[in-house]
Structure 1
Amino acid sequence: MILRYYKMQSTMSNSFEQGTAPRVLFFGMQGTFSALALSALLEAGIDVRGVVIPGGAIPGRATPAITRYENPLPARTMLPLAHTSLHTNIVQIATKQHLPLWKVSRLNDPTTHAILADYEPDLVCVACFSRLIPARILDLPRLGCLNVHPSLLPANRGPEPLFWTFREHQHETGITIHLMDRGMDSGPIVLQERIEIPDGMSYELLETRCAERGGALLAQAAWQLYRDEAQIAEQDEALSSYHSFPAYEDLGIPVDQWDAREVYNFISGVGHWESPLHIEAPDSELETLEVRNCYSYSLEPLEDKRRVIDEGGPLVVRCKQGWVRVV
């Protein structure tokens, strides 16, 4: 069912002035996902008033709730690859665009609230932020807070949706722009778009595609809310699912239960996770086998009935159906 978000009805009486842009505070981190979203807002003419990044406590020192972050651009160099990461770093983007940059360690602190409130934001836009945003910050902007989530909500809520997209052998995912509420990724949906996942796609490539489309949709949603043109849909809780951070057992690959294509796509997707994946082969001498790469797969049967075949190169592993070559 399509619904108008309740906050819009009470705030849009103060209509925007012709020729102005929505005032936004951007919350993100130093990575590709946040950087592409921030760049998209700026390219769409959004008035980004400030950028907020999470900060941590320093052992043995009193840490202020919020501090202005100064990061002057480094001197240029003739090395061609030295600055290739500039476009993936919101600190560098904020510095180049002369945007106020704040490092926050305590979002609930009155000082934090007072400093952010001074920007009088119409919206807070969030794209990959490692802290739970408290109610007093959610209530700060007059039009609400928008979040970019890389799944087709209400499915796959939680902090690592792309990992679970690969873990559950999904061949498509999507990007959702939703208004934030007190729950985890449970607020009303503003915009949503599907993204296909071909065989062999890596986590990094899927994240980049989600970030590119998510940034474009985030800017579109911000303008729609500002102009009172958005169509908002409540999430259907009956269709919702949630996953936490992956545990050790979630990195296991039960090759006797998965076919070769499923094994290939999971390793291709998250083979370079912080902790190594491990093939569970209880009917072989190895029992478990750490893997990082999967070179190829076939759904054709193997004449050799061994679970793991070592011929001096990449290992051949027999699956529920077919086989894969791994290292």
Structure 2
Amino acid sequence: MPLFIYAGQGGPLSLRPLEALLEAGYRPQAVLMPVTANTSNPSKSLPVRPPRDPDSLAYLAFEEELPLLGWQQGKEAEIAAKITELGPELVVCSCFPWRVPPRLLGIPRHGWWNLHPSLLPAYRGPDPLFWQQRAAEGNTGISLHQMDEGLDTGPILGQAAVSLTLGDLREAEQRLGAEGGQLLVRAFQELMAGELRPRPQAAAGASYQPLPNKVRQTTWR
């Protein structure tokens, strides 16, 4: 089994995939989370015992006795050193909010994988569920891709189509998170068997949407 770190920020799209990996016997070395506190030591901003919250990635890590790593923007050198020290062969992301710089992408032997809640190359960008619901896209899906220097442009490792109820964001995140977990389990199995075959994203149908502003979010929600 490859040594790996799991990165996310909470909510069903972060929790369900990690739960699927744990259930299948794939246990990360640590869980990496964003930290926004203004501190010289980001790891100390993470809770020692997080409050019980069904959407808390930190609490799931606490229950599973997984170490928590904090990544504060602007302190990439510190997190790069920590990742190098742990020596993972892979970093798996789901709903991690920040762009990963190239120097971090190159540390693990197998790079970084990312779960993205759309059928790439459509709906690249930071909030694809918002834009799909806004466009009344009931038929969507989730993609597992290798991260590169672009935004959601890396080779595809697996995809699953999902039909969703419009307007129910919570249900969408739950179902896509569950499907994403199965994509990860299959990708791990294929990686270990030497059968993982990344494929480039198609040029046709590619689209990118930016982060919605508060007016757009308020109007839709």
- Equivalent runs, 1:1-327 vs 2, <5 Å: 21-58=1-38, 63-64=39-40, 66-68=42-44, 69-72=46-49, 85-86=53-54, 88-106=55-73, 109-198=76-165, 200-247=166-213, 251=216, 273=217, 275-277=218-220
How far the C-alpha of 1:26 sits from its partner, in A, is 0.8
Aligned to 2:86, the other structure's residue is in SS state: coil
- Structure 2 unaligned segments of length 5 or more: list them: none
How far the C-alpha of 1:99 sits from its partner, in A, is 0.8
Aligned to 1:118, the other structure's residue is in SS state: helix
Structure 2-normalised TM-score? 0.91
Structural RMSD (CA): 2.0
- How far apart in 2 are the matches of 1:204 and 1:172? 16
- How far apart in 2 are the matches of 1:173 and 1:36? 18
- How far apart in 1 are the matches of 2:50 and 2:81? 28
C-alpha offsets along residues 149-204 of structure 1, whole Å, 9 cap, x if unaligned?
00000011001111111222223001100000000000000100100134x55111
Aligned to 2:4, the other structure's residue is in SS state: strand
Aligned to 1:232, the other structure's residue is in SS state: coil
Structure 1 outlier segments of 4+, above 4 Å: none
Rg (Cα) greater in structure: 1
Aligned to 1:183, the other structure's residue is in SS state: coil
- How far apart in 2 are the matches of 1:226 and 1:133? 25
- Structure 1 unaligned segments of length 5 or more: list them: 1-20, 75-82, 252-272, 278-291, 293-327
Q: Which has the higher helix share?
A: 2
Q: Which has the higher strand share?
A: 1
- The alignment covers a number of residue pairs equal to 220
C-alpha offsets along residues 288-320 of structure 1, whole Å, 9 cap, x if unaligned?
xxxx6xxxxxxxxxxxxxxxxxxxxxxxxxxxx
- Asked if structure 2 preserves the Cα contact closer than 8 Å seen for 1:24 and 1:123, the reply is yes
- How far apart in 2 are the matches of 1:234 and 1:215? 22
- Asked if structure 2 preserves the Cα contact closer than 8 Å seen for 1:155 and 1:242, the reply is yes
Compared with structure 1, are the counterparts of its residues 218 and 109 closer, same or farther at alpha carbon in structure 2 (3 Å cutoff)?
Answer: same
- How far apart in 2 are the matches of 1:193 and 1:225? 18
Code of the aligned partner of 1:46? Y
